[in-house]
Structures are given as structure tokens and as C-alpha cells.
Amino acid sequence: MNMSVNYSEISVERIDEGRRRFIVCGTTIAGSMVLGLPSIGLTEVGGDMDGERQIGFFIEINADGSVIIGTNQPEIGQGARTALPMLVAEELDVEWSKVSVRQMPLGIVKTEEGYAWKYGGQGAGGSDGLSSNWDFMREVGATARQQLIRAAAARLNVPASSCRTKPGYVLCDAPAGEIPYGDLVAEAARLDMPAESPPLKDMKDYRIVGKAQNTVDALEIVTGQSRYGIDTVEPDMRYAVIARSPYLNGSVRSFDDTEARKVDGVLDVFEIDGPALGEPYLILASGVAVVATSTWAAIKGRKALRVEWEAGPSATDNSEDFWKQNEEMLKSQGQIVVDDGEYEKAMSDADKVVSRQYQVPFVSHQPLEPQNCYAHVQENFCHVIAPTQSPSGASRAAAAVTGLARESIHIDMTRVGGGFGRRLTNDYVAEACMISQATGWPVKLQWTREDDVKNDFYRPAGLHEMHAGLDTDGKVIAWTQRLASASKYYRRPNMPDENLWQAELYSDDFPRRMVDNMRLEYFHNPIGLPRGSWRAPAHTANAFVIQSFLDEVAHESGQDPLALRLELLGEERELEYGNHGGPTFNPGRLARLITFVADRIDYGTERPDGRGVGIATHFTFGGYAAHAFEVEVSSQGELSIERIIAAIDCGFAVNPNAVEAQLQGGTIDGISTALGLEITVKDGQVQQSNFNDYPLLKIAALPSAFEAHIVPYNNIPTGVGEIGIPSSAPALTNAIFAATGIRIRRLPIGDQLKQAMAA
């Protein structure tokens, strides 16, 4: 997914910011990175500016030297709220300890040419929030600093070239030449914007960026003051839940709300129309909404409802059938989407062919904060407060429900209690708008955990068939991945069938261009289960499959798994990479990382029986990661993870503290999912319901010997939110094989070890 920044010229727009009123003067600089901001000067029209001073949209400097920096991206735990303001503060030249952070709402502006985004592109997906704002946010800070310098120079009547800054001050070579920023803001804000953006700092002079900084709002979090979407309280707000069809593609046949309406606090009960069959999802399911004076009253009212469901066209969907269908499909010829060299000839020339199948299940996102949304739909205005990864998607959803113009919809973003891709779709925003529109009330819609498990855009499941052809020296000369899966691109608007594979096989991934004769083949197996982006989408499946298979190829051909990988990856060089995270991919960086983790875990050292080490590496959305696991498996099949080494090469770590956190978290997400998570369907219904049968990992499963290393590479930061997960699961299952000789070819691992040991 690409959340690329979309700037357009802004002419003149009136915005309300509390008691202040500004005219935004659009003096954009064609071709410059500062388009949309901070080249937009803010001119005060009325109101009181005392005590609050703003330069552009993002920076406010108070007389006491405190600085408030806006952050345009949603905060889902990835650390954007800390990292992006760090970039501004560095170039602005202020003390980080003086900075506090403000979450910007969706900055949508209507112009003659269409919608424009006054705060740049906004959205958390594809791990590019940092890389796509790297220049942009630094230029915001640098431009503001330059304006402060110019304001000081003008005031003292000296050339700007004789002025410089120290944190929070402009210093000019003149009497009384040291002026605090807070004294200069009003003058700086009135200056014309420069024709060119100012030069950026030399990175060796950084004082804030590149240094470990703690989470900016950690104090609010640990004292229970941080506000998530679920914590929203607005005047006259009502509370709502929805009873959704338990059947995929089912609908309400009839319902009896007599008992529900008797529940104290229940105010209204009505039907919610589901999405049209086969069409893109505005919401996930048809259902019955219950609106009440409190969350618990709404939940009780829902329990008292009696709903007859129409099971619908997916009522015969079953996971067991789905896997059989995948197997059958792989016996035929699919859509060949990559065909390099002379694959068939190379396979027939091969001295040895290794073939395996791997099964990757549907899984659910389960951010810990269940879906929720506040909406107030009025005649000409709609206010939404949502924990969302995609505020522009929220705006589209609200517009689709209400028919209001998007500039009449205000989207506020809260801190988000986990994303993992779930909140890239805004179905819960659409539902909240439907309920508010139907009742006229401001409403907070609340999902329960059961709602979240049974109604999700699940990670696609697939059966992967791998073949490798080796020459007499053990060199891989032919490679194919044949995948039968339920594509994520199911029910997407304007999505031709021949493109469904693109969400499941990233055509330029390893080992493309490292094996001369290569094929990728796809079969689409539809099922009624909705699908969506789950952290690092297809990379989690494909890294597991490819890194497991490489181990199997090595063992089958008498080669060492690390040596085989290094042979294939080769030296450092930039290869063309057309998928998200490109334009290039340097396999040598993976070789460097996997060597690093192998060294740290003493890869070459023999382990006693029942102990083993596994390694894996993967390139994800521009970033590089590798893992090494050491595990012990008892004769009863009890797995104990003894040691984990994780390493990331994200180019340059803007906030090493957050990079380490994401690497730790991604690694653990990979383990949690591989060990026990799977969504299954029986008779058209999701079988899991809550954490009792969808068991997210707890602390006891993890060793205290857990190292997360940042291995720097250059001065260009990549994202980090999704990089740490894909190679975690295959390193674990490769370690299990090394310890036991048991090869995990079907996720989750579940009780497979116990069964294999008992057999």
C-alpha cells in the first residue's frame, strides 16, 4: 500500500481553529517539497493571538519558549507522533524537552482542482510514514527557522546572513542580538515565504534526530490520561452496538426487539443494511443497531434481541473445503505472472528437484482497542472522532453514508490502540455515521471483542507449492512459487481478476533476479471471508514459505542453510524492485544482516539433542531484517524459545528507541501468530470469538534472552513498523527443525509438535 503524499495548490481557504480565525494564503512553490506547507503563510484576521504564536500549520511557539509541533500521521504505536516532530524540532533548532506534540486532524481542503491536503498525505500503512515525511517535516522546521532569522534580521536591521540560531534563540551580530523565538513568531508569520526551501542541517550536527527519544506522551499513557477513540465523550452522546450477521454475506430476515426495548437505557433499535453482495465493503455486515444511554445498556439490549438471519450465499463455506480446493487448483495450470529465463528447460536440466507445500492460514488483526467511532451527522456537517489508520478513508466512508461533501466532514484522530492494518478500512466509521444519521444523535459506536474477531478483513490464507531445481554443484538454477489463495484484492473497486495475484505475490521479492529461471503462478480461490491488509501483508506468508523452503532445499542437497542463502543473496548491489518499498532492493544488505544474527547466536556451534538454531531474513517495504532463534523441544513436544536475536537495517534510525521497539514487537507478533493463531470458517461462520480461542501470546512464552539490534547502513531512513515481522516465524520453525527434525509446513504450529512427538 502506498500512502503517497498528495499535494495540490491551495488558493484561499477560511478555516476555524477554535477562537482564532485565519485566512490561509496559498503561495505555493511549484516543484518544491514544501508545497502545501509551510509555504502557506497564516495571516491573522481577527481574534486574540496573545500567548499563542503559530508559524505555518505545524509550529506554535509560546512566549515562554515552549513549542508545540503538529504531527500529521495517525499514532498506532509505531512512534510517528514522536519521530515526525523530532524532525521538525531538529531543523527548527529548539530543545526537545521544550516540545509537546499536537495531533492534526485530517487536513482536507477543497480547491478548484479538487481536494488538497494541507498537512500533506496522512495515513499509517506500508511503513512509509517516516520515509515519505523525512524531507517534508525537516523542511517545515528549516523554513520556520529561516523565517525567524529573517524576522530578527529585519528587526535589528542587519543582514540575515549575519544571524544564526542556538536552541530557541536567534543570534545576530548586533547589540541585544540574542532574541528568543517566542518574541519573533508574530513577525516571522507575516513574512513572505522564500522562493526556495532553505538548506537542511548536516546530519553530523544532529542533536535530536538519530538519538533515542522516549515516547512523547508516555506520561499520559502510564497515568491513564491518554485518550483513545474509545474514551471519547461528547455532549449528549449516545452509545451504540450492532448485532451483525454471524453468517458471511448473511442478512437480517427479521428481528424482534420487544425484550431489547425493555432494557433500562435502551433508546432505539433498528436495522442496518449490509453491503451489496460482491461489491466493495462500505461496512462488513448487515445487522441490527441498538442505541442506549450507556455502553452496557446497549450490550444488554443487544443480548435481548431476537434476530432471524438469512444465511445467504456463503452458508456452505468451510475451511476444510477451502484447503481441498487449493490442493485441487494446484494440480492445474494457473496464471503465470512471472516467467524469467527458460524455467521448464532449467527444471528438466536440473540434477535435483526439491518440491514442498506450505499452508498459511487466515488470521485476524485484533488490535487491543476494539473498533469504535464517534459520529455526529447533522444537516450540513459531520464530525467524526475515530481511531483510524486512514483519516482520508474515514472521510470517504462518512461521505458515502451521509452524502455530504467531504469538506463538510471533519475527521479528528485519537491515539489508536493498535492498528496492524485493521484500521486502514473504515467500516466502523461508516456504521457510526449510519446510526447517527438515522437517529440524529451524536453516537459512539462500540464493538466488543467478539464483534472484532468475527468481523474483520482477515489476512488471506493460501497453499504455496514450491519447486527448486539444482545443478550438480547444488546451485539453484530454477525456482517456482505456485500459490492458491483467497486474494486480499477481493471486492476491491475497479479490480480486474487478472490483478488479484498482485496482493499475494510481490513479483520482485527474493529470489527474483538471483535465480535465472523463475516462475510465479497464481490461482484465486474465493471464499466469503473478507480480506484486508494485515501487518506487512503478503510478506508474512511469503517470507515463511521462502525461508522455510530454502532450509529444506539446503538440507535436501547437503548444503548449509546459511551458506545457501549467502550464495543466493550475493554481494551488495541494487536490483530493480517495482513493488512497494522500491525502487531498488539490495540483497547484500540481507546477507550482511543474516551473517550478523548467525554470528550472534553462535550458528556454527553444535547443540545437544532437542536444541537447535534457525535463521531467516527478509526485505519488507524498503527495510531489511533478519532473525536467529534458539529453541528447545522436549520429548513430549513442549517448545521453549531459549534465545532470540533480531536485527534490522532501516538505513538510518531516526529514533533508535522506537526502531528497537518495533523490531521487538514485530518479532513477537510473528511468534504469536505462528504459534497459535488461525481463523477458520464452518458453515459460513467464523468459528473463533475471543482471546480464549484466538490466543494472543503472553509474556511467559518469551525468553529473557532477547536481543534487538539496529545495524546502520546509510543516511536514508526507511519505515520500521512492518519490517521486523516477516522473518520471525520462519526463523522459529527452522530452529524447531534443527532441534527435532520436525518440519512445520502448516501454520499455526499449534499442537503439531506434540502430535509428531507422540507418533
Partner 1 sequence: MISFKVNAKTVSFEGDANTPLLWVLRDHLGLTGSKFACGIGQCGACTVHVDGNAQRSCILPVGAIEDRSITTIEGLAAADGGLHPVQKAWLEIDVPQCGYCQAGQIMATADLLNKHPSPSDRDIDENVTNICRCGTYVRIRNAIHRAAELAEAGE
Contact residues: partner 1, CB under 8 A: 76-79, 214-215, 217-219, 221-228, 230-231, 233, 239, 264-265, 294-296, 300, 366-370, 415-420, 446, 448-450, 657, 661-662, 664-669, 672, 690-692, 696-700, 702, 704, 706, 708
- Give the whole-angstrom CA distance, residue 391 versus residue 414: 11
CA–chain centroid gap for 295, Å, is 29
Residue 323 cell numbers, joined = 484447503
Which amino acid is located at 247 in the chain?
Y
Q: Do 407 and 108 contact (CB within 8 A), yes or no?
A: yes
| Closer residue to partner 1 (CB): 265 or 637 | 265
Query: CB–CB of 384/437 below 8 Å?
Result: no
CB neighbour list of residue 30: distance below 8 Å, 6 or more residues apart: none
Residue 455 and residue 244 in contact, taking contact as beta carbons nearer than 8 Å = yes
Packed helices 134-156 and 181-190: angle between N→C axes, nearest 10 degrees = 100
Least Cβ distance, residue 641 to partner 1 (angstroms): 12
Nearer to partner 1, 450 or 683 (CB): 450
At residue 160, φ and ψ (nearest 5 deg) are -60, -30
Q: Which is nearer to partner 1, 610 or 703 (CB)?
A: 703
Minimum CB–partner distance for residue 408 and partner 1 (Å): 29
- The SS3 call for residue 498 is helix
Phi, psi angles (nearest 5°) of residue 634: -80, 170
Residues found in the chain: 759
* Sheet strands (E) in 361-516: 372-377, 382-386, 409-413, 443-446, 462-470, 476-485
Radius of gyration of the chain (CA): 28
What's the CA gap between 58 and 102, in Å, rounded? 9
State the nearest-atom distance from the C-beta of 290 to partner 1, in Å: 15
Calculate the dihedral angle through the C-alpha atoms of 283, 286, 287, 291, rounding to the nearest 10 degrees.
Answer: 30
Q: Which is nearer to partner 1, 13 or 450 (CB)?
A: 450
**Minimum CB distance to partner 1 smaller for 392 or for 446:** 446
**SS3 breakdown of the chain: % helix, strand, coil, rounded to 5?**
30, 25, 45
- DSSP H helices in 80-194: 80-92, 134-156, 181-190
By beta-carbon proximity to partner 1, the closer residue of 431 and 451 is 451
Of 143 and 673, the one with the shorter C-beta distance to partner 1 is: 673
Toward partner 1, which CB reaches closer, 124 or 149? 124
- Does residue 583 have a cis peptide bond before it, meaning omega lies within 30 degrees of 0? yes
The full 3-state SS of 298-318, as one line of letters, equals HHHHHHCCEEEEECCCCCCCC
C-alpha cell at 566: 549467502
Cell of 587: 540483497
Q: Kindly tell me which of 437 and 540 has the beta carbon lying closer to partner 1.
A: 540
In the complex, least distance from residue 672 CB atom to partner 1, rounded to whole angstroms: 7
Shortest reach from residue 367's CB to partner 1, in Å = 6
Please answer whether residues 80 and 129 qualify as being in contact, where contact means their C-beta atoms are separated by less than 8 angstroms.
yes
Torsion of CA 206, 207, 209, 212, to 10 degrees: 140
Q: What is the distance of C-alpha 392 from the center of its chain?
A: 15
Nearer to partner 1, 362 or 549 (CB): 362
Q: Smallest distance from the beta carbon of 419 to partner 1, in angstroms?
A: 8
CB of residue 642 to partner 1, shortest distance in Å: 13
Answer for the pair 37, 56: CB distance below 8 angstroms, yes or no.
yes
Q: Which three cell numbers mark 344?
A: 521448464
CB-wise, 66 or 448, nearer to partner 1? 448
Question: How near is the Cβ of 729 to partner 1 at its closest, in Å?
Answer: 13
Cβ proximity to partner 1: between 170 and 536 the closer is: 536
Nearer to partner 1, 229 or 250 (CB): 229
Give the alpha-carbon dihedral of 143, 145, 146, 149, to 10 degrees: 160
End-to-end CA distance of the chain: 44
Cβ-in-10-Å burial (0-12, 13-18, 19+) of 380 comes to exposed
Q: Which residue has the cell 440524529?
A: 440
State the DSSP code for 478: E
Cβ nearer to partner 1, comparing 370 with 622:
370
Q: How far is the CB of 99 from partner 1 (least distance, A)?
A: 16
Residue type, 235: P
Cβ nearer to partner 1, comparing 95 with 450: 450
Distance between CA atoms of 158 and 328, rounded to whole angstroms? 80
Query: To the nearest whole angstrom, how small is the minimum distance from the Cβ of residue 109 to partner 1?
Result: 30
Taking the complex as a whole, how short is the minimal distance between the CB of residue 422 and partner 1, in angstroms? Answer: 10
Asked if 138 and 130 touch (Cβ cutoff 8 Å), the reply is no
Backbone angles phi and psi of 40, in degrees to 5: -80, 110
**Nearest distance from residue 543's CB to partner 1, in Å?**
17
* Strand partners of residue 374: 385, 444
Q: Are strands 611-620 and 476-485 parallel, antiparallel or unpaired?
A: unpaired
> Nearest approach, Cβ of 101 to partner 1 (angstroms)?
14
Smaller CB separation from partner 1, 216 or 626: 216
Minimum CB separation of residue 661 from partner 1 in Å reads 6
Q: What is the DSSP letter of 693?
A: T
Dig out the grid coordinates for 746 from the structure. 502448516
- Smaller CB separation from partner 1, 420 or 577: 420
Smallest gap from Cβ 303 to partner 1, in A, equals: 11
To the nearest whole angstrom, how small is the minimum distance from the Cβ of residue 416 to partner 1? 6
CB of 646 to partner 1, least distance (A): 10
Nearest distance from C-beta of residue 225 to partner 1, angstroms: 7
Closer to partner 1 by Cβ: residue 26 or 666 = 666
Omega within 30 of 0 (cis) for the link into 695: no
Chain mean position to CA 236: 34
